[in-house]
A and B are shown apart, each in its own frame.
Chain A
Amino acid sequence: MSRLLNPDSPYGPRSDADFLAEMNALTRAHIEGCPEYASIWPGFDRAENLTELPWLHVGLFKHIEFKTSGEGIRHERTLKSSATTSGVSSLVTLDRASSELQSASTLAIFRNFVGDSIRPLLVLDSSRSLLTRGEVSARIAAALSLRPLASEIHFLLDDAEDPGSMKWDSLAEQLRNHDDLLVYGFTWILWLAWGNANLPDEIRELLAGKRIHFVHSGGWKKLEDIQVDRRRFDDSLLSGLHPDARVIDFYGLVEQVGIIYPLCEAGFRHAPAWADLLVRDPWTLDSLVGEPGQLQLMNTLAMGAPYHNVLTEDVGRIVPGDCPCGRAGKRFELLGRIPKAEVRGCANV
């Protein structure tokens, strides 16, 4: 699995019947190999359509470390979310075969947006973030998914949590030696470390005319809090650069590793051929089209644990019709996180 993963045509036409058949087979494999999953969905045999497929709520990955056993499945590392909202990380168990597919998937999607050229990758993180054995953070995983497009990798922060620890000398050296660069960072870090930073004069001069693709992920919540919108964000990063420089905002979840949803030129996000999505009414679980609801994301790549079909806590809206960008995959708008109200009660929460 997955026969649907075509690296050269991530958004090409696909057979929905083939997708459903792969999802049915994958779901059965997880039910056979993962007791916790089987106890949540007892008696499943096959679904007639996507809405009938078993799913897991994204919050479960904070409480249960799912693992599916099966022939040829070798669990290797655990992917850990950043825990910015709840303080508790999601844990996703990765296996070798799925990781290979997931890397191929991410690369195919990135190439569709940033092209094939190989250039230095500058990561707004610290190299020390690589050192935790057996575990990998979502941020590092996202950065390293760009590795196949990188001629070399440089980490630009001295302290991963401090956007003020930018190593300007390292950046200056790369800018002196290269006209094309790929930069990855979490959205808020990219803004604080670069977009809104007081750039040294030398850096400002070196940036002029450079073709840089800024790739970022991680959501806008922290920037909304300080009233930074997408336009200001993009304009600030692209100021003075080559006209082909671009900012690419992608949406992805640790619990859907390998599938990323970059914003297309028309302002939508598309599912690749080996993925799909539903929007659910949280009160009835009805499947919605054209109306906002909870996003449910699915893909055919996850074999080591049942994170192939996840009900997220993100709000989205499926937009019917063809997209002007030309990509055929189902398109949607990401509208943000489910609004959280303050928990009222006693002093114990």
Chain B
Amino acid sequence: MSDHLSYFESSAGTVAVSLPFDYHRAVEDWVALRKTMIRQVPDEFTRDEWAYLVTFLEPGNLLRPFLNSFGVSVTEPSGPFRLLYRPRGPIAIWLPNNVSLLGPLTLVLLSLTGQPMRLKLGSSTEDLAGAFLRYAVSNLSPGDLQEYLATQVQAETFARADPRQQELAGSAKVRIVFGTDAAAEAIHRLPHPLDSIGFSFVDRASEAWLEPGALNVEVLTTLIKVFVIYGQAGCTSPKRVILLNGSRGEATDLRDRLLELWPTVVGAEPAMHTASGNLMAEQWSRALGWDPQPATRNAAVLASGSRELPGFESPMALRIQSATPEQALADLPANIQTIGYALEKPEDPAWLKLLAGSQVLRFVPLGQMHYFGSHWDGQEFWRQCFEGMEIR
């Protein structure tokens, strides 16, 4: 691979970015891989996961980190250079056992930095990042990207006490940790280069905020889809639905409309343990005062109730409550990440005023709750894989 300078125009002026390959070619190669991907779903992935990955590899999506980080791409620089960005260096990523799609998605985005990358995978997991890396190396057309993935990206599995854990932290210029708060703390405490940088993507929760006037079949279908992919286990899946300024009766109506739509949206038979867990969740929520109903073939439990009710947890249980926006804000969990909305006027600055003092990290349309990008959990992690040289 040869060093490659790419140019961008931004409000700061002309920016140059040094990469080990032509990133346009790398994006084209990823996009071309989709043709192979749509033919067959590998065993390691569910159909929904694979479909998400195919969608993720759209050119606009892959070029967005460059646009958001450096500006508009140009072939020839038009003015004096103000900044030169160059990669910080090797990247290390820790992926615990149940991180699923975020692994391959992070791999794809960071591959566009062209830096040596090591993925530390969970030791007892159905590993999607390693599986996707193997798939990409086998199926990409020969070229810089394929060679880079084959030679500079390693997926490894080892225990926490393994000496490679220290070595990984000590050799990386960028540490990205998915995991619990404790795991992230422990990894960032390991000896690491002073000029390295660390990111923690830890325990988060998300919610859906809906206004009665914005509800239609499309919105409700989207809500079912974003919930069902990982249920309560997804940090970007709604843990509860807030019907803004609605009544308890309207929350129950919303539950019933979702249940009615369910079989038209979700075709797959739930696993036996999922169905059983939902029987438990239905009884638990009822004992707490909720009004639960099972979805078709016990695939989920949707429970409506007032905001004062104590919560209950089950992988495929969804709470539906009514609240004013102020109440919804007050009830947000401390680890809130995403609010997925369906609002009559989402562009109204009142929403921003409401959320300005909150810990919310993403406020996105319902259908974009799971969209992963170069800005995540409030951190520009992709852009921070580069360091800038000021030019005067």
Residues of A near any B CB (own CB < 8 A)? 36-37, 39-40, 56-60, 63-64, 282-285, 294, 311, 313, 315, 338-349
8 interchain pairs, CB-CB under 8 A = A39-B289, A40-B287, A60-B284, A338-B273, A345-B230, A345-B233, A346-B102, A346-B203
Q: Give Cα distance in the complex from A40 to B277, angstroms.
A: 16
The winner among A64, A340, A342, A347 for most chain B CB atoms within 10 A is A347
Residues from chain A with a CB closer than 8 A to the CB of B96 are 347
The winner among B205, B270, B286 for most chain A CB atoms within 10 A is B286
Query: Is B98 touching A349 in the complex (CB atoms < 8 A)?
Result: yes
Residues from chain B with a CB closer than 8 A to the CB of A339 are 271-273
Residues from chain B with a CB closer than 8 A to the CB of A60 are 280, 283-284, 287
Q: A342-B97, A346-B234 are in contact. Are A282 and B287 (CB under 8 A)?
A: no
In the assembled complex, the CB of B131 is this many whole angstroms from the nearest CB of chain A, namely: 13
Give which listed residue, A36, A294, A343, A348, contacts B276 with CB less than 8 A. Answer: A294
Query: Is B287 touching A346 in the complex (CB atoms < 8 A)?
Result: no
Query: Is A282 touching B275 in the complex (CB atoms < 8 A)?
Result: yes
Residues from chain B with a CB closer than 8 A to the CB of A285 are 279
Residue ID in chain A nearest B298 by CB atoms: A283
Is B55 positioned at the interface, with any CB of A under 8 Å from its CB?
no
Q: Give Cα distance in the complex from A60 to B285, angstroms.
A: 10
Give which listed residue, B283, B289, B315, contacts A343 with CB less than 8 A. Answer: B315
Q: Give Cα distance in the complex from A311 to B284, angstroms.
A: 14
Is B371 positioned at the interface, with any CB of A under 8 Å from its CB?
no
Give which listed residue, A64, A294, A338, A346, contacts B233 with CB less than 8 A. Answer: A346
Q: Give Cα distance in the complex from A56 to B284, angstroms.
A: 9
Residues from chain B with a CB closer than 8 A to the CB of A315 are 272
Count of A-B residue pairs with CB < 8 Å = 109
Query: Is B272 touching A345 in the complex (CB atoms < 8 A)?
Result: no
Interface of chain B residues 196 through 216 with chain A (CB within 8 A): 201-205
The prevalent SS among residues of A at the interface is loop
Query: Is B284 touching A64 in the complex (CB atoms < 8 A)?
Result: yes
Q: Give Cα distance in the complex from A56 to B180, angstroms.
A: 33
Query: Is B284 touching A63 in the complex (CB atoms < 8 A)?
Result: yes
In the assembled complex, the CB of A331 is this many whole angstroms from the nearest CB of chain B, namely: 23
Q: Give Cα distance in the complex from A59 to B312, angstroms.
A: 13
The winner among B235, B237, B280, B283 for most chain A CB atoms within 10 A is B283
Query: Is B284 touching A346 in the complex (CB atoms < 8 A)?
Result: no
Is B100 positioned at the interface, with any CB of A under 8 Å from its CB?
yes
Query: Is B180 touching A348 in the complex (CB atoms < 8 A)?
Result: yes
Is B363 positioned at the interface, with any CB of A under 8 Å from its CB?
no
Query: Is B279 touching A345 in the complex (CB atoms < 8 A)?
Result: no
Interface of chain B residues 261 through 292 with chain A (CB within 8 A): 269-273, 275-277, 279-280, 283-284, 286-287, 289
In the assembled complex, the CB of A253 is this many whole angstroms from the nearest CB of chain B, namely: 15
Residues from chain B with a CB closer than 8 A to the CB of A39 are 286-287, 289
Interface of chain B residues 27 through 51 with chain A (CB within 8 A): none
Query: Is B204 touching A348 in the complex (CB atoms < 8 A)?
Result: yes
Residue ID in chain B nearest A58 by CB atoms: B280
Residue ID in chain B nearest A311 by CB atoms: B279
Residues from chain B with a CB closer than 8 A to the CB of A56 are 283
Residue ID in chain B nearest A282 by CB atoms: B275
Residue ID in chain B nearest A337 by CB atoms: B273
Residues from chain B with a CB closer than 8 A to the CB of A63 are 284, 312
A282-B275, A311-B276 provided; 17 other pairs, C-beta below 8 A? Answer: A39-B289, A57-B280, A58-B280, A60-B287, A64-B287, A283-B269, A311-B279, A313-B276, A338-B273, A338-B276, A343-B98, A344-B230, A345-B98, A345-B99, A345-B235, A346-B102, A347-B201
Residues from chain B with a CB closer than 8 A to the CB of A36 are 287
Q: Give Cα distance in the complex from A57 to B275, angstroms.
A: 12
Is B132 positioned at the interface, with any CB of A under 8 Å from its CB?
no
Residues from chain A with a CB closer than 8 A to the CB of B289 are 39
Interface of chain B residues 155 through 180 with chain A (CB within 8 A): 178-180
Query: Is A344 touching B98 in the complex (CB atoms < 8 A)?
Result: yes
Is B322 positioned at the interface, with any CB of A under 8 Å from its CB?
no
Q: A57-B280, A59-B280, A338-B272 are in contact. Are A346 and B298 (CB under 8 A)?
A: no
Is B293 positioned at the interface, with any CB of A under 8 Å from its CB?
no
Give which listed residue, B183, B271, B279, contacts A57 with CB less than 8 A. Answer: B279
Residues from chain A with a CB closer than 8 A to the CB of B205 are 348
Is B125 positioned at the interface, with any CB of A under 8 Å from its CB?
yes
Residues from chain A with a CB closer than 8 A to the CB of B126 are 342, 344
Give which listed residue, B202, B237, B283, B284, contacts A347 with CB less than 8 A. Answer: B202
Is B374 positioned at the interface, with any CB of A under 8 Å from its CB?
no
Query: Is A282 touching B276 in the complex (CB atoms < 8 A)?
Result: yes
Is B115 positioned at the interface, with any CB of A under 8 Å from its CB?
no
Residues from chain B with a CB closer than 8 A to the CB of A341 are 271, 273
Query: Is B287 touching A347 in the complex (CB atoms < 8 A)?
Result: no
Query: Is A346 touching B236 in the complex (CB atoms < 8 A)?
Result: yes
Is B297 positioned at the interface, with any CB of A under 8 Å from its CB?
yes
Q: Give Cα distance in the complex from A171 to B335, angstroms.
A: 55
Residues from chain B with a CB closer than 8 A to the CB of A349 are 98, 233
Residues from chain A with a CB closer than 8 A to the CB of B202 are 347-348
Q: Give Cα distance in the complex from A57 to B297, angstroms.
A: 17
Interface of chain B residues 115 through 147 with chain A (CB within 8 A): 125-126
Query: Is B234 touching A345 in the complex (CB atoms < 8 A)?
Result: yes
Residues from chain B with a CB closer than 8 A to the CB of A343 are 98, 233, 315
Residue ID in chain A nearest B289 by CB atoms: A39
In the assembled complex, the CB of B369 is this many whole angstroms from the nearest CB of chain A, namely: 12
Q: Give Cα distance in the complex from A347 to B234, angstroms.
A: 8
Interface string of B228-265 (1 = CB under 8 A from A): 00111111110000000000000000000000000000
Q: Give Cα distance in the complex from A342 to B46, angstroms.
A: 13
Residues from chain B with a CB closer than 8 A to the CB of A37 are 287
Q: Give Cα distance in the complex from A285 to B287, angstroms.
A: 20
Q: A60-B287, A282-B298 are in contact. Are A346 and B98 (CB under 8 A)?
A: yes
Q: Give Cα distance in the complex from A282 to B316, angstroms.
A: 15
Query: Is B98 touching A340 in the complex (CB atoms < 8 A)?
Result: no
In the assembled complex, the CB of A67 is this many whole angstroms from the nearest CB of chain B, namely: 13
Query: Is B235 touching A348 in the complex (CB atoms < 8 A)?
Result: yes
Interface string of B49-78 (1 = CB under 8 A from A): 000000000000000000000000000000
Q: A57-B280, A344-B126 are in contact. Are A40 and B286 (CB under 8 A)?
A: yes
Residues from chain A with a CB closer than 8 A to the CB of B179 are 347
Q: Give Cα distance in the complex from A283 to B102, angstroms.
A: 31
Residue ID in chain B nearest A346 by CB atoms: B235
Residue ID in chain A nearest B277 by CB atoms: A59
In the assembled complex, the CB of A62 is this many whole angstroms from the nearest CB of chain B, namely: 9
Residue ID in chain A nearest B94 by CB atoms: A347
Query: Is B275 touching A283 in the complex (CB atoms < 8 A)?
Result: yes
Query: Is B286 touching A345 in the complex (CB atoms < 8 A)?
Result: no
Give which listed residue, B183, B237, B273, contacts A345 with CB less than 8 A. Answer: B237
